[in-house]
Structure 1
Amino acid sequence: MRNNIYFTLLVVLAMTTISCEKDTPQYLPYEGYTYSELNTNGGDWVPVLQDSGSSIDVPVPSSTNSQDYLNELEDVKEAMADITSDQKKAIRYWTNNPAIRWNEIALELIAKYNLIPGPNADGSYTLPNPANPEGPPAFPFAHPPYACRALAYMSVAQFDGLISAWHYKYEYNRPAPFQQDEDIDYAYEENQIPSYPSDGAVIARASKNILTAMFPLEEEYLQQVEEEHLESLLLSGGNVMSDITAGLEIGNAVSETALTRASNDGMKNAQTPKAVSDSIKQAAYERFGWAWDNLEIPERPVGLTPFFSKVNMWSIDDVESVRPIAPPQLDSQEFLNDVELLKDYARNMTDEKRRIANFWQDGLGTYTPPGHWNRIANEIIVEEKLNPLQTTRTLAYMNMAIMDSGISCWDAKYYYHYPRPIQLIEGFETIAGTPNFPSYTSGHSVFSAAASEVLSYIFPEKAPTLRAWAEEAAVSRVYGGIHWSFDATVGTDQGREVAQYTIDRAKADGADQ
């Protein structure tokens, strides 16, 4: 089942000339591992959307000496006795930290749907419509704002669900099947985390529900993936069916809460009609004396999601409170110096600058800049051997910060409506395409700075490297000729400022105590 979507993805990427090899989502080559911590107090942590870990009701499990539970153990042993090679492969794939696998699936879907809808025969454009996902064009267009939002909602639902699971795990303290019956061998490294409710089932159901809402054409595929994952939980010796059932109940509850928020967060109005887009441009021209013109070929009549700036943020009440200072006037020395800087980069393009520009491009047919930082986070999570609760906390706060920073970035883009270098430097050419939205500030810079700051908070020993990567991602857009240098430097500061709101929230959730 994974091969089907992967084959489709490879076809898409092969047809997308601006993609590069590293942007093809790859599964991390890791197996089940011993967690660095168990976080026995995790059920007391403060969730993002739920009131507390006990907000969701979960039934009291059967005692381990009850006939019902003993029957469940027999069911596990019978299933394991008939295990197939494909089932063993699935167990190895899902591991004992499946939050990473679901994150990778999300990145696959983002890459698959990160394609610009083409024009109609008459030259007009039809927007992807969630009410008619088959289109044409197919819904969604998984551009960076869409991608960061999908990742944020999935990660938050996972995190809230696992806080609830941890609460009941240590309230009921029911041992895992392999701890109850010596004839049951656990497929992964053993740990002492109670099995009820199943954390894997929480992750599976929350992820499947969120991704189905975000990518409705993938409903059948996601259902198949969930079924494989749930089966692996039982066949691994880690859960009985009642563990899984309780986990599914939590997953349903947290995803319902998350999707209720999503349905009212303003994203459905982010892509504006042409008249509104034109009025935004005119207001900027009257305010500053400049306006961005879309120079992509073929030109789309409306810039990308002008009202993404009005989507509800996770940790900031007013997007204008983090709006950066105005960019340089077009007759200022700062601006003229930047013109010469970009000309110099173009005349003296080195292999290293080109490599950096290509590595961080994350354009069409890829998992986008937010996805790139999720890949980085996943690699660190495996290296540090985080348990699923720690994993989802990391991904939730990082993706919340990325989404908030993106909203702030889009506010600056359409408020200032600053022209791109290709518009103002005669004869100038980029090496990385022409994005369909204004220049200031740089989305790559903002996304990367926000992600690196949250990861630096969680993994302080890696902070110098993470921040250096963010700065490289920022300057890559200058090397590519897509952005002015101040788009990148101010965008980096902007992303760091926005991320601090998320970090302050994370510091108050109880996990650091």
Structure 2
Amino acid sequence: MKKHLLYISSVILLSLGACHKDLPTELEFESYQYASLDEDGGEWSPVLISAGSELEIPVPAETSSSAYQSELAMTKSAIQNMTAAQKENLTRWTNNPVVRWNEIALELIAKYNLIPGPNADGTYTLPNPATPEGPPGFPFAHPPYASRALAYLSVAQFDGLIAAWHYKYLYNRPAAYQVDSSIPFAYIKQEIPAYPSDGAVIASSSRKILTAMFPLEAAYLEQKEKEHLESLLLSGEFVSSDVEAGSKIGNDIAAKALARASTDGMKNAQTSKAVSDSIANAAFERFGWKWVNLESPQRPVGLTPLFGKVKMWNVPNVEATRPGMPPVPGSEEYEADVKMLKDYAAKRTLEHRKIANFWQDGLGTYTPPGHWNDFANRFIVKYKMSTLRAARTLAYMNMAIMDGGISCWDAKYYYHYPRPIQQIDGFETIAGTPNFPSYTSGHSVFSAAASEVLAYIFPNEASMVRAWAEEAAVSRVYGGIHWSFDATVGTQQGRNVAQYSINRAASDGAD
């Protein structure tokens, strides 16, 4: 790690601490003029479908038709009779609801990022999607789960918006306020056709994806979708058929995303004790070591031992990004790391503690993947991205984060490397020890993968986000959670994984 970069990034990040202290946060921003309208966005390459035209919607009525004029009158009447609560919702959704739905996802991740505790007899019952009410409640939104939820959410939004852009510029039906100048528009005016509503695509796809991921929140998410769709009609931009067409696209693309999710292997990621033991024993036979859970009572199975076998988005196979073997215990490199960790533990500085705590992202938070989504949302607003550009940013970043997590978990359970607290007598961390093997560091992989995509999309921020990723990695060493090689190798692993998503982005037609 470059010391001067780490110092600079820590100053920047700690100054942001007030913004992040109560995670997750909702950005305060107003409607803005998009930096680009992306008129060719309907020709970009989607992820789940072959082209935007694959998702069909009806041919819209002409603005001169009686059907459209009736819708227009209904829109005008609804705006004239807006309640105070509706006006507040209209302001909050703004003209980039991609950010708002991502924030809802982060809120739910934090709410459900609670590890199931032991039963009275010391046994553990795992969360079960078939009985989400529990106990324990489903899901446990740990980092792998969070990365997957965010990836499916963002990819569905992105593909749905490509379809929306295709039809917007095919039919070129103007916004309601352009057809009738007496209709007020709530946001900054953009010269983008209204049919179908891009906001409705986002609302319906997001509600459907997040309901599948967080089934106990179905009523809450349905209410959020209702509020959002209502706000679209009250904005002055859309009539009901605009919104209905967008909602159809959103539901259709979400169904395709969830069909992929049903067969991606995640349902097998959390294994039985017998399978978990066999993975540990295979590593011991291969390398002569294995990680042991030091909790009391001891959890019989590590966290998602087979997440490394979940289907990846852009990496051809997990072996393509599997790192080399970690140092053999007792070797010169290993002993140097033991000394380093002991020195850090004996001489922990205030700065090191602050860095470790800032990046902890433990239980009850939106996890490391969520942390980087928060950063991305801030850049999206800063650079005034359209809904389509915003969804593209989050889709490529979250695909890279999920692929990084899969690659990382493959390495964790392939090598099954012990954590420092298991190997160093009397060693203590300044945070809880995670329930899975050490090598490589999940924080490092998630952060490096995210930062590389953000550096690609926001080149002016490249130095800063890469410094943040290095700091996220070393924070785990400062906290005693990881060996330094977990962090350095994990950082390179995340960068390697991200390159596959970047390569895809570079050829999707958007640049």
**Which of the five TM-score ranges fits, normalised by the shorter chain?**
over 0.9
Q: Distance in 1 between matches of 2:295 and 2:170?
A: 58
State whether structure 2 residue 366 is matched by structure 1 residue 367: yes
Question: Residue 348 of structure 1 aligns with which residue?
Answer: 347
The gaps in structure 1 that reach 5 residues or longer are 1-19
Q: CA RMSD in A?
A: 0.9
User: 1:42-441 residue pairs with structure 2 within 5 A?
Assistant: 42-441=41-440
Bigger shift: residues 364-373 or 64-73: 64-73
Q: Distance in 2 between matches of 1:23 and 1:148?
A: 20
How many angstroms does 1:238 deviate by?
A: 1.3
TM-score (normalised: structure 2): 0.96
TM-score (normalised: structure 1): 0.95
How many angstroms does 1:58 deviate by?
A: 1.1
Q: Distance in 2 between matches of 1:298 and 1:160?
A: 45
Question: Residue 458 of structure 2 aligns with which residue?
Answer: 459
Q: Distance in 2 between matches of 1:131 and 1:372?
A: 29
Check conservation: 1:23, 1:367, Cα contact below 8 A. no
Q: Distance in 2 between matches of 1:21 and 1:147?
A: 18
| Alpha-carbon spacing, 1:387–1:21, altered in 2? closer, same or farther (3 Å) | closer
How many angstroms does 1:152 deviate by?
A: 0.2
How many angstroms does 1:119 deviate by?
A: 1.1
How many angstroms does 1:22 deviate by?
A: 2.1
Q: Distance in 2 between matches of 1:275 and 1:403?
A: 26
How many angstroms does 1:21 deviate by?
A: 6.3
| SS in structure 2 at match of 1:63 | coil
Q: Distance in 2 between matches of 1:107 and 1:23?
A: 12
How many angstroms does 1:345 deviate by?
A: 0.6
Question: Residue 12 of structure 1 aligns with which residue?
Answer: none
One-letter amino acid of the structure 2 residue matched with residue 450 of structure 1 = A
The gaps in structure 2 that reach 5 residues or longer are 1-18
Query: What per-residue deviation string (whole Å, max 9, x for no partner) do you get for residues 446-497 of structure 1?
Result: 0000000001110111100000000000000000000000000000000000
Q: Distance in 2 between matches of 1:251 and 1:78?
A: 27
How many angstroms does 1:508 deviate by?
A: 1.0
Q: Distance in 2 between matches of 1:297 and 1:63?
A: 68
One-letter amino acid of the structure 1 residue matched with residue 386 of structure 2 = N
Question: Residue 508 of structure 2 aligns with which residue?
Answer: 509
Q: Distance in 2 between matches of 1:282 and 1:501?
A: 32
One-letter amino acid of the structure 1 residue matched with residue 126 of structure 2 = L
Check conservation: 1:23, 1:362, Cα contact below 8 A. no
How many angstroms does 1:318 deviate by?
A: 1.2
| SS in structure 1 at match of 2:53 | coil
| SS in structure 2 at match of 1:134 | coil
Q: Distance in 2 between matches of 1:212 and 1:218?
A: 6
Which consecutive segments of 4 or more residues in structure 1 shift more than 4 A? none
Query: What per-residue deviation string (whole Å, max 9, x for no partner) do you get for residues 145-197 of structure 1?
Result: 00000000000000000000000000000110111111111100001010000
Q: Distance in 2 between matches of 1:90 and 1:196?
A: 22
Q: Distance in 1 between matches of 2:148 and 2:365?
A: 16
How many angstroms does 1:299 deviate by?
A: 2.1
Query: What per-residue deviation string (whole Å, max 9, x for no partner) do you get for residues 253-307 of structure 1?
Result: 1000000000000000000000110011111111111111101233211000000
| SS in structure 2 at match of 1:54 | helix
How many angstroms does 1:511 deviate by?
A: 0.4
Query: What per-residue deviation string (whole Å, max 9, x for no partner) do you get for residues 221-267 of structure 1?
Result: 00001000000000011110000000011001100000000000000
How many pairs are equivalent?
493
| SS in structure 2 at match of 1:363 | coil
Check conservation: 2:122, 2:297, Cα contact below 8 A. no
Q: Percent identity?
A: 70
| SS in structure 1 at match of 2:252 | helix
Q: Distance in 2 between matches of 1:213 and 1:238?
A: 30
Q: Distance in 2 between matches of 1:264 and 1:437?
A: 24
How many angstroms does 1:23 deviate by?
A: 5.0
| Alpha-carbon spacing, 1:21–1:450, altered in 2? closer, same or farther (3 Å) | closer
How many angstroms does 1:121 deviate by?
A: 1.4
| SS in structure 2 at match of 1:306 | coil
Check conservation: 1:446, 1:491, Cα contact below 8 A. yes
